[in-house]
Structure 1
Amino acid sequence: MSTRVVHFVVPEGVDDPARVSGGNVCDLRVRDGLQTLGWAVRLTPADPDAASDVFARLPAGGLVLIDGLVAGRSPGAVEALARRARVVVLAHMVSAAFADADLDTVDGEHRALRAAHAVVTTSAWTRDELVRRGLVAPDRVFVATPGADRATPAVGTPHGMALLCVGVVAAHKGQDVLVEALAGLRGEPSWTCTIAGSLDADPAYADLVGELAHAAGLAERVRMPGALARDGLEGAYRDADLLVAPSLVESYGMAIADALGRGIPVIASDVGGIPEAVAPSGAAVLVPPGDPAALRDALARWIHDPALRDRLTGEARRSRGVRTSWTDTAARVAEALEAVR
C-alpha cells in the first residue's frame, strides 16, 4: 500500500511553550496520532497573516490539512490552493461567535471554509454553527473531538479549596468574570485560585484581570503564573480540587477534558461545546456564561457543601476512563483526509 502523505500547515510557534493554546496542543496531538496510524505528516509552520508563499510551495495534487487560524487569515491563498490540491481545514473555532470579531476575520473564515474540500471541527457545536451559518454543507463536515490522556488522578488538598482555571488569559475566556465571582467570596478564608495561561495574547486584558484581583483584595489568593510548561501544568492539575472554566465562547474546552481525565470536577459556563466536553460525566456544574453572580453561587455551594464536593469528585474519578483518546481524534481526522484523497 502506498504511503499516505499529508502536508499539515500550522501556525508558527505551534510548539513554543510560551504560546500554549488548545489549538496548538490539538494540532500537535493530531500530527502524532496520524503518524501512529501510518500517515507521513509533513508539518509546515506558517505565519497566519502571510501564508501565501507557504501554500505556493505545496505540491499540486497533494493532500493538505490546514489549521483554521492560518486558513481564515489567508483566504485568498486557500482558494488558490484548493484549485490545485485537496484541502481540509481543521476548524478549532467559529470566529463569528466572538463578540469582538472583526469583519475581515469573519469574512476570511467564510471564504476559506467554503473553498475547502472538507472541514474537521472539534465539536458537534462547532459543526452545527458552521452549517447553520451556511459556511459548510453538512456532508463536508467531520467532527473530531479532542482527546484527553489517561493521567494520574489528581491529589488535591485536604480541604478541597484549590481552584484552577486553565487557558489563555483573554476576554473570551472570562477570567474577569471569575475574579468578580471570587470577589464575592473574599470573606471565605479557605480558597485559593490559580489562573494558568499565557498573559501575552491580550496584555491589556491580562493586566485588567490582575487589577481586578488587586482591587478586590485578592492579590495573594489569585495567582496568575502565565503559561505553564508541561511539568508545571501537570503540577497544577495534581494539586487542584476543582477546575473553573468561565468562558464566554468555547468551541469545546480541552482543559475541561484534561481535568476530568484526572478526576477533577468542573464548574463551567453552559456555552458552545462545553456540554460536550463534560459529557457523559456527572462531575460538572454548568452556569450561564458572563454571569458573575451565578458563578459565585456555584462556587459558594462547592465551598459550603462537603456532600456536593464528595459527589462531584467521586463522579469525576469514576468517569476518568470514558474520555475520548487522541487516537480516536486522529482517526476521525484521517476519515476526512481519506474522503478527499
Structure 2
Amino acid sequence: MSVPGAARALRFVVPAGLDDPARVSGGNVYDREVRDGLGRHGWAVRTAEAAEAEQVAEALDGLPSGGVALVDGLVAGWAPAAVESAARRGHPVVLAHMVASAFPGATADAVEAERRTFRAAAGVIATSRWTAAELVRRGFVERSRVIVAVPGSHERPPAVGPVGHRDLLCVGVLAPHKGQDVLLDALAQVDGDWTLTLAGSRATDPAFAARVAVAAEPFGQRVRLPGVLDGGDLDRAHRRVGVLVAPSRAESFGMAIVDARRRGMPVIATEAGGIPEAVAGGGAILVPPGDADALADALRRWMTDPALRARLRIEALRARALAPRWADTVARVDEALVAA
C-alpha cells in the first residue's frame, strides 16, 4: 500500500454519467478503473459527478484543509475558480485526458480556463507523454509537476488472424475529434466488399452523430452503427474484424487502440496527438489526420496486400506484451496523489 494505516480520504470529481452504459467513453472507462483501483492503494474514494460548473464548485467547496482531490480535467476546465479556491485549502490534482486547447475550434475563454486550472493544481496526471509535453509547451504547467499514467487494458485473447481483413471496426464516441466522417469519406473511395462497424455513444455530440448516420446511409448494410458496444458485444466485434481504424483529428492516446493492442490487432490510424506513442512497437499504418485520401490509400493497401497484412499482424501480436495494464495506471495515479 502506498498510504499506510487507515484509508486516506480522496474526493474524485468526474463528469456526470460515469457509469451510464449509454455514455461509454475512453475517459469514463479510465475514471472508473482509477476509482475502483485506488482502494487497493489505501484510498477511501468518494466520487462526485458534475454536469456543470456549479456542481464542480460544490464538490470542491467541501475539500477539508490539507485534503486531496482528483479532478477530471474536463470538469475542472468548467470551473477554474473552484480549483484555485481548493488549492488554497488542499491539494487538487487534475487528471488531463486531453488538452482541450489543442482541439480545433477551442475558444480563447476555454484556453484561459484550462491555463488557470492546470496552474492552480497541486499536481497534474497526463494520460500520455504527448499530453504532458503539450501542457508544458503551452506553458500551463512545469514538467516537474506532471506524472504520466497512460490508459491500461485488461487481458484479452489474441486476434483471430487472417479472417475478416475486409471487415473494419472503429470504436469511439461519435464526435468531430474522432473523425468518423473522415473515415466514411475515405471508404467512399475504396472498392470491394468491405464492411464497417462504427461503435460508440451518440450522446456526446448528437448533431454530429446524426450527420454521420446520414453520411452512412448510401453505404446501406455495409456500415453498421450499433451504438455503444461493451463487454461481450465488443469482444465479438473484435473477433469478427481484421483491423481497428482510428481516424481521429485529435487524440491524447486512444483507449480503443490500447484495447486493440492488447488483442494483437493491427491498427490503421492517424498521427494525431499521442497515437504514435500508443502504437509504438509496430503493427500499425499511420496517416495524417483529416486526410481522407491518405486514409483511403491505407485502407486499400490493407485490403489488397497480403504481405502487408501478414507483417502487421506479426508486429501487432509481438506488441501485445507492450500494452499497459490498469494496475500500472492506478499505481502511477497513486504516486501523483501521494506526491501532492
Name the CA distance, whole Å, in 2 between partners of 1:251 and 1:233.
Answer: 22
1:168-218 superposed Cα distances (whole Å, 9 cap, x missing partner):
011111111100000001x312x100010111221221122222222xx31
Give the aligned partner of residue 284 of structure 1. Answer: 284
Question: 2:107 is matched with which residue: 102, 106, 110?
Answer: 102
**Deviation at 1:319?**
2.1
Q: How does 1:36-185 map to 2 (within 5 A)?
A: 36-50=40-54, 51-155=56-160, 158-185=163-190
8 Å contact kept, 2:63–2:89 = no
Please report how far the alpha carbon of residue 58 of structure 1 lies from its aligned counterpart in structure 2 after TM superposition. Answer: 2.6
AA in 2 matched with 1:331: A
Say whether the 8 Å CA contact 2:73–2:97 is kept in structure 1: yes
Q: Would you say the 8 A contact 1:156–1:239 is kept in 2?
A: no
Letter in 1 for 2:304: H
Give deviations 1:272-299, integer Å, cap 9, x for gaps.
00011111x2100100110001000000
User: How far did 1:70 drift?
Assistant: 1.1
CA contact (8 A) 2:164 2:241 kept: no
C-alpha contact (below 8 Å) 1:95/1:106 kept by paired residues: yes
Identity fraction in percent: 56
Aligned ranges 1:247-326 → 2 under 5 Å: 247-279=248-280, 281-326=281-326
Deviation at residue 102 of structure 1 after TM alignment: 2.5
Instruction: Name the SS of the counterpart of 2:53 in structure 1.
Output: coil
Q: Name 2:328's counterpart in structure 1.
A: 328
SS class of match (1:125): helix
Superposed displacement of residue 156, structure 1: 6.3
CA RMSD of aligned residues (A): 1.4
Corresponding position of 1:205: 208
- Secondary structure (helix, strand or coil) at the match of 2:220 reads coil
SS of residue matched to 1:70 = helix
Match of 2:38 among 34, 41, 44: 34
Partner of 1:5: 9
Structure 1 residue 27 displacement after superposition: 0.7
SS in 2 for 1:218: helix
Q: 1:230 aligns to what?
A: 231
Compute the displacement of 1:152 (Å).
1.5
Q: Which string of whole-angstrom CA distances, capped at 9 and with x for unpartnered residues, describes residues 256-277 of structure 1?
A: 0101111210000011000111
Q: Secondary structure at the match of 1:290?
A: coil
**3-state SS of 1:219 partner:** helix
CA 1:196–1:157: 2 relative to 1, 3 Å: farther
Q: Secondary structure at the match of 1:152?
A: coil
Question: Secondary structure at the residue paired with 1:73?
Answer: coil
Q: Distance in 2 between matches of 1:156 and 1:103?
A: 47
Secondary structure in 2 matching 1:83: helix
In structure 2, what is the Cα distance between the partners aligned to 1:36 and 1:283? 34
The gaps in structure 2 that reach 5 residues or longer are none
Q: Which runs of 5+ in 1 are unaligned?
A: none
State whether residues 8 and 43 of structure 1, in contact with CA within 8 Å, keep that contact through their aligned partners in structure 2: yes
TM-score for the superposition, normalised by structure 1: 0.94
Give 1:159 deviation, angstroms: 4.1
Indicate conservation of the 8 Å contact 2:163/2:241, yes or no. no
How many residue pairs get aligned? The number is: 335
CA-CA distance at 1:148 after TM superposition: 1.5
